[in-house]
Structure 1
Amino acid sequence: MGVLGILLSLGLLMFMAYRGFSVIFFAPVLAILAAVFSGMSILPTYTEIFLPNMANYIKVYFPFFLLGAVFGKVMEESGAAKAIARAIVAKLGAKRAMLSVVLSAAILTYGGVSLFVVAFAVYPFAASIFKEADIPKRLVPATIALGAFTFTMDALPGTPQIQNSIPMKFFNTDLYAAPVFGTLGAIIILTVGMFYLEWRKKSAQAKGEGYGVGHKNEPEVVEDRNLPNALLAAVPLVSVLVLTLVLQKFVFPRWDIVDMVTAEPYNMIEGGVVGTMNNWALMIALVVGIIIAFVINPRRIKGNVAKAINLGAIGSLLAVMNTASEVGFGNVIKTLPGFQSIAQALTGINAGGSPLYSEAITVNVLAGVTGSASGGMSIALDTFGAEYLAWADRANLSPELLHRVASMASGGMDTLPHNGAVITLLGIAGLTHKQSYKDIFAITLLKTSTVLILIPLQAIFNFV
């Protein structure tokens, strides 16, 4: 009955999300349903398991959501995001429409702009250039997803997205962990992903299918004024990447503060100090990026400072609450006897004596259960992180590989129908799951497969 309850609650959560209902409301409701099937009490499950885990996730990761959303909004209000996207599209042209959209989304994501903001910023250009090239609009979401939700989200070393920052506190690593593994993964995902999208485009056009008519949420063609130079617009993005690298690699390692932060009133655990300082580095870098984004185009940002900060802060609340609610759901599920059986099977995977397969599959499954890459990875590493670290030590594997595998695996099955980013992306484009989800899911399968392909290659060639 316990396993049945898990499957039923997960299926209903995906169904309700598919129908447009908020996971903030239904995640606790369906978590309690799963608990009831396992004989657990309703109110204690909600107040003592769901809420504390949801609150703890917000406590740890809210700064990244808040600063990332404000940064993205400032980039939007200053015109920097549009300037970058427009420059890429103009350079590559309509013949390479899909590549233009992918690169626009990728550069913004790698620069630290929130995935949700990237979708809003890139969609108008994507729709316009797809219409010009007569490419079916139903392929727009998958194209944006390839650029924003895959290799720049968690594969490329240095990406400041939250999916790349979560493993730091578990493995005492930094954003640049396993650079060769991540870079190879990014190349594979981009290359195969573009091949797939171009194949889908040619197949549709061969059947006479074009952009289509009668679409919802078609962007208005408005001529933007006072856009900054594209190179100047990229300065805030570059500053986030460079400052994070400098702080993590050169400044904080020389900063001996263990005695201070492990004493009253902070009482930090010594083993987590390195990961926490790496988090601080990203926070500082995002703050600096926000300040630079404000000052690069004063004519456009004038009068919009409060708007950018307020809208970014409000947007971050919805994003973090969606994810935190899914984390609460997943943590209720992980307390159930049925889940323990599943977890034992996952951690029992011992291919070649390496923890990487077990970690990849466990993170992927939990990301699918929660509908959240960051949420599923947090649950997996909270539960098994210490075990994987000890296992890697016995197998003489670098913790950096654990970091990169966990990060990349989280961005796989998280994009099931109840994923918040998928729902948001489809809503922005005015399309439905029926029209566009198949291609988003294909990109998801590519992402998942890439991790499982790289693990045996790493074992053969011993790269990190």
Structure 2
Amino acid sequence: MSLLIVLAALGFLILVAYRGYSVILFAPVAALGAVLLTDPALVAPMFTGVFMDRMVGFLKLYFPVFLLGAVFGKLIEISGFSRSIVGAAIRLFGPQRAMLSIVLVSGLLTYGGVSLFVVVFAVYPFAAEMFRQNNIPKRLIPATLGVGGFSFTMDALPGTPQIQNIIPTAFFGTDTWAAPVLGTLGSVFVLAVGMAYLEWRRRVAWRNGEGYGDPATLVNEPVAFTGPQLAHAGIAILPLVLVFAANKLLTLGMPHWYGSVHSLVPSVMGNAAPVVQEVSKIGAIWAVVGALLVGIFAVLVLAWRPVVTGFAESTRTAISGAVLAAMNTASEYGFGAVIAALPGFMVVANALGAIKDPLLHEAVTVTGLAGVTGSASGGMSLALAAMADTFIANAQAAGIPMEVLHRVAAMASGGMDSLPHNGAVITLLMVTGLTHRQAYKDIFAVTLIKTAAVFVVIGIYYATGWV
């Protein structure tokens, strides 16, 4: 019965998300409905102690990233930089490779350490302009951004600084470059198959006479540039390069400047209790926030005249979108925390233990729990916290290196995590102004490609022994 309750809550949330209802409202309804059916006495304690605690904790950490990312993306848009970069990309790759251009830009940013959410805000203006100029359906933008930013550079490519590639290091004693051959081959698989799928979808739309879309019905369209002259592409791309570089430098500098733990007394009189913060856990967020501020300042300096004209109205729109996107994702985190605290969740986790092969056991467990919670990092953290010792023991008995465990766990976390209730998916659709009905089919196809890549990597390891 407890398993059915968890599955019912998950199915309900997926259904309402797909039908376009707000998960800010229905994530707590789904989570607390499951609690009510499990133990009615726990509804109030679960709401305040688990759901709201996780939701507020997410906002505390990530709201500045959403806010500044949205503002940065909007300034890139109204400055005309997006149109300038798109023009250069079309000249470089050709108009037939618009999708590849967006995938490469997204992948470069995420591999450089820029947050996935920031990439959505920053790259969407480029994608919309490029797709419009090449008459590619707008509904394919989310899947294109998914291939570039939410797949191989998130968890497969060796050395990626994304959290999905960092979490396994604490459990397996590895580093972010674990299993470089397998990670690279997995990345090539996702990129090649993902691009083949996107190009096939583009060709089908072209044969059916489908274009970008009717401007009168499209939502969240980037505003047209009204300045006197577009900047040179080298100038236009400079803010993105600065965000990339500043994020790297600040990430490296935070531990040296603040140490692993920082304490401050929020009172000149010294009467208040000290505020102690673990820099190792939040330094990366500080680095992203600082990098975005650098990028925003760069746009203001490089394109002051066109930006200042529409600054008030544009940033007001960006901030509204950032608040809604952050609240959606935070609500999803709250839902995942409540579901993970229910007995039915452990039934799922324990049932997955019946799989005998060590790597298949790990892959199915991690991607399954990521799907239930709607979070790659959340599902992997839960799976490894509960079963890492089992994974390690089974792998050692089979002679499997810890590096392979690391790469399989990281890639599996980015598989079925992107179900309709996933916070990143909802944010992606909101920023692009599309609905699940319009765009999720292609996002799900990318999800299946990512999931298949894990099992391809496992097959390569067993066939060759490569690490």
Equivalent residues, number: 444
- Counterpart of 2:342? 336
- Counterpart of 1:141? 142
What is the percent sequence identity of the aligned residues? 46
CA distance in 2, matches of 1:345, 1:6: 14
- Counterpart of 1:122? 123
1:364 and 2:370 are equivalent in the alignment: no
- Counterpart of 1:463? 466
- Counterpart of 2:295? 293
- Counterpart of 1:192? 193
CA distance in 1, matches of 2:409, 2:253: 23
- Counterpart of 1:347? 353
CA distance in 2, matches of 1:454, 1:54: 35
2:184 maps to amino acid: T
- More deviation, 449-458/90-99: 90-99
CA distance in 1, matches of 2:322, 2:138: 28
1:236 maps to amino acid: L
Contact 2:373 2:379 in 1 (8 A): yes
- Counterpart of 1:28? 28
- Provide, for residues 171-212 of structure 1, a one-character-per-residue CA deviation record: whole Å limited to 9, x for no partner: 454443333322222111111111111112222322333334
SS class of match (1:413): coil
CA distance in 2, matches of 1:43, 1:427: 31
Contact 2:243 2:294 in 1 (8 A): no
- Provide, for residues 252-309 of structure 1, a one-character-per-residue CA deviation record: whole Å limited to 9, x for no partner: 8xx9x89999xxx9999xxxx9xx74x56645654663465356553447998x9999
CA distance in 2, matches of 1:187, 1:445: 15
CA drift at 1:14: 1.3
Relative to structure 1, is the Cα distance of residues 388 and 245 closer, same or farther in structure 2, using a 3 angstrom cutoff? farther
TM-score (norm. length: structure 1):
0.78
Contact 2:67 2:323 in 1 (8 A): no
1:216 maps to amino acid: L
Counterpart selection for 1:435 from 430, 435, 438: 438
CA distance in 2, matches of 1:461, 1:204: 40
- Counterpart of 2:245? 239
- Counterpart of 1:167? 168
CA drift at 1:317: 6.7
1:5 maps to amino acid: I
- Counterpart of 1:401? 404
- Provide, for residues 215-238 of structure 1, a one-character-per-residue CA deviation record: whole Å limited to 9, x for no partner: 412433315655762564453354
Please list, as runs of the form range in 1=range in 2, the aligned pairs for 1:30-109 lying within 5 A after superposition. 30-41=30-41, 42-52=43-53, 54=55, 62=61, 66=64, 70=68, 73-74=71-72, 77=75, 82=82, 87-109=88-110
Contact 1:66 1:312 in 2 (8 A): no
CA distance in 1, matches of 2:315, 2:174: 31
CA distance in 1, matches of 2:168, 2:318: 25
Instruction: Structure 1: give runs of 5+ residues left out of the alignment.
Output: none
CA distance in 2, matches of 1:31, 1:350: 32
Relative to structure 1, is the Cα distance of residues 131 and 75 closer, same or farther in structure 2, using a 3 angstrom cutoff? closer
- Provide, for residues 68-100 of structure 1, a one-character-per-residue CA deviation record: whole Å limited to 9, x for no partner: 864674476466983655543442231212212
Contact 1:88 1:104 in 2 (8 A): no
CA drift at 1:48: 4.1
CA distance in 2, matches of 1:108, 1:439: 22
- More deviation, 281-290/152-161: 281-290
- More deviation, 235-244/115-124: 235-244
SS class of match (1:415): coil
SS class of match (1:418): coil
- Counterpart of 1:216? 218
CA distance in 2, matches of 1:404, 1:89: 35
Relative to structure 1, is the Cα distance of residues 158 and 70 closer, same or farther in structure 2, using a 3 angstrom cutoff? farther
CA drift at 1:12: 1.3
CA drift at 1:407: 2.5
CA drift at 1:316: 7.1
- Counterpart of 1:415? 418
Q: Alpha carbon RMSD of aligned pairs, Å?
A: 4.1
Relative to structure 1, is the Cα distance of residues 47 and 215 closer, same or farther in structure 2, using a 3 angstrom cutoff? closer
- Counterpart of 2:270? none
Relative to structure 1, is the Cα distance of residues 126 and 316 closer, same or farther in structure 2, using a 3 angstrom cutoff? closer
Relative to structure 1, is the Cα distance of residues 404 and 86 closer, same or farther in structure 2, using a 3 angstrom cutoff? farther
CA distance in 1, matches of 2:287, 2:94: 33
1:7 maps to amino acid: L
1:33 maps to amino acid: G
CA drift at 1:451: 0.8
CA drift at 1:117: 3.5
Relative to structure 1, is the Cα distance of residues 54 and 26 closer, same or farther in structure 2, using a 3 angstrom cutoff? same
Contact 1:86 1:125 in 2 (8 A): no
Relative to structure 1, is the Cα distance of residues 226 and 102 closer, same or farther in structure 2, using a 3 angstrom cutoff? same
1:180 maps to amino acid: V
- More deviation, 312-321/396-405: 312-321
- Counterpart of 1:204? 205
- More deviation, 409-418/85-94: 85-94
2:347 maps to amino acid: S
Instruction: Structure 2: give runs of 5+ residues left out of the alignment.
Output: 264-273
TM-score (norm. length: structure 2):
0.78
SS class of match (1:414): coil
CA distance in 2, matches of 1:318, 1:362: 31
